[in-house]
Amino acid sequence: MAQQIADRRDIDFVLYEQLDTEKLAKEKAFDGLDRKAFDMIITEARNFAVKELLPVYVDSDRIGVTLENGKVKVPESFHRPFKLLVEGEWTSMCEAPELGGQGLPHIIDRAVREYLSGACGALVAYAQMGHGTGKMIELYGTAEQKKLFINKLYDGIWGGTMVLTESNAGSDVGALTTSAHKNADGTYTITGDKIFITNGEHDLTENIIHPVLARVEGAPAGVRGISIFIVPKIWVNPDGTLGQPNDVVCTGIEEKTGIHGSATCSLAFGSKGQCRGLLLGQEGMGMKIMFKMMNEARQDVGFQGLFAASRAYLYAVNYARERRQGKELGSPKDAPAQVPIIRHPDVRRMLMWMKCYVEGLRSLIYYVESLFDRAHCSDDPAVKKACNDEAELLTPIIKSMGSDRGFDICVQAIQVYGGYGYIKEYPVEQLMRDTKIASLYEGTNGIQAMDLLGRKLGLNNGQVFMNMLGQMHAIIEKAKASEGLQAVATEFKTAVDRLGEVAMIMGTRAMSAEFKTAFAHASPFLNATGDVIMAWMLLWRAQVAATKLAKGAATKDGAFYKGQIKSAEFFINTILPVTLGSMNAIAKGSPAAIEIDEDAFGG
């Protein structure tokens, strides 16, 4: 039977052979768990996703959400799987059981979510977005706030959002105009309009908890004056019961290119002067608190690109095996007139390109989850800091590369299908439309590039970046000692060394009078860094596979392991040379985009 949603063999390879996740079961933090438990949970998620979630993916697109009298309705087919999703306790698997979670490792949660979200991301997000809201309250809330909100958010009983954007401000959050007036009882009256609020209104949960950025009256301008407030759709009484509607009204939903089943709302807070909120943390801490949630969201957005790419690749490779068209090149005259298109060189090239990025992205995203697990299990502050710093460095890479390459893989899948890929009878065109948003929200990928260059490259005076290059060199040395990998390891070393040089050039330029030119090349620099990281992950995979083959891996796994080596060969010998050319252009640093007169753009 063809794989659906995600390749389980590849997931197991990353979990247990590349990242040795089984060792987490020996940690005190995960006492009582073992590989058998991990496998059972992932298998159950896979079965649930295929049976209950995947069948409503088309409804998500073709029925979508509707708005009537300020109320948003999701497709009727969403209600049963949503109820089962919540009842099955799939919503907050990493959190402590006493808070409504399962106490699982982050990396196992990611594998589970690759199936759940990969099957129908728009539906699953209604249940899981409350996790980020709950995490902010867990970290910064008062004891009373935690008691009122955390469990129901983590359990998926109540929905959650992230309320930042305003039409006049966009990504410039410091320009927001939503205001907060402090009341005598300690609550705040919230007034303002927000846009692009994912899941801001829907009929799946009895309440929705909005974390809202606003400026307290008299607070300074800009980001320093921003606070964050817990604003329930329905007011929550001190005993946890629901009170009156809280003057939060959905004034519109966006008609989008894709993810039609996800309600993207415009919300009016306090249009009748009766919207109340609870201050989270202290006044002026809004951006600090929100960025905790934002970093989690950015990793999830990169992951969104991966699970769409994984599905698109599996659809494409299975279609290529089944679709018969044209003669095989070099075949004799009496050969069959039509062969499966997977035998055509250009189709194989497209599939290899897709395969490399799907595998590289999966390894990268799971690797960062393993950093969170390592930090969670360690009592050493230095280890915790090192893990968190590396995750910080890799977050803009995951967000940007995951969303960009995820979309590109969906486009390539359409190309494999040919004309059939462009029609709605087949699923890849919906995947493409649904995935495009990922490069735009939670900070466009241009903002991710600025973050990498302006902040993350200089973490700990550049030591975090240099440590990452050191890890790449360690894999190079292991690969050089592996049969058949010496040549690709040497080619990869050239790219790693060049990346180190270009990073120095970019860092210096960003702090000079040519800083605008540096930031004009920030996106190419992020993409080049991402490609080198993809090659790192693929060479690491190949080294593990080569070791298995050298030890006489079972026949049934031979093709899989050899495929890992071919992925590394293809990427390092075919894609990385283009990346080297890009790095040379970045180093040269043409200022043309900065120097051109605005009138010269035409129009």
Q: Which residues contact 446 (CB under 8 A, 6 or more apart)?
A: 522, 523
User: Which residue blocks in 236-344 are alpha helix, DSSP H?
Assistant: 286-322
Widest CA span in the chain:
90
> How many H-runs (helices) and E-runs (strands) does the chain carry?
19, 12
Three-class SS of residue 191? strand
Count CB neighbours of 422 within 10 A: 14
Active-site residue, from 442, 477, 483, 501:
442
Residue 131, strand partner residues: none
Instruction: Note if 442 is an active site residue.
Output: yes
Whether residue 278 contacts residue 145, with contact meaning beta carbons closer than 8 Å, is answered with yes
Phi then psi dihedrals of residue 278, to 5 deg: -110, 130
Paired sense of beta strands 208-216 and 159-160, if any: parallel
Whether residue 110 contacts residue 94, with contact meaning beta carbons closer than 8 Å, is answered with no
Long-range CB pairs of 75-84, under 8 A, 24+ apart, other chains included = 75/261, 78/123, 78/126, 78/204, 78/261, 79/204, 80/52, 81/52, 81/53, 81/56, 81/120, 81/123, 82/123, 82/126, 82/127, 82/204, 84/48, 84/52
Whether residue 33 contacts residue 25, with contact meaning beta carbons closer than 8 Å, is answered with yes
What Cα–Cα distance (Å) separates residue 244 from each residue in 204, 234, 272, 278, 565? Answer: 18, 6, 14, 15, 61
Helix 79-87 vs helix 106-128: crossing angle, to nearest 10: 140
> What single DSSP character describes residue 1?
-
Enzyme catalytic residues: 442
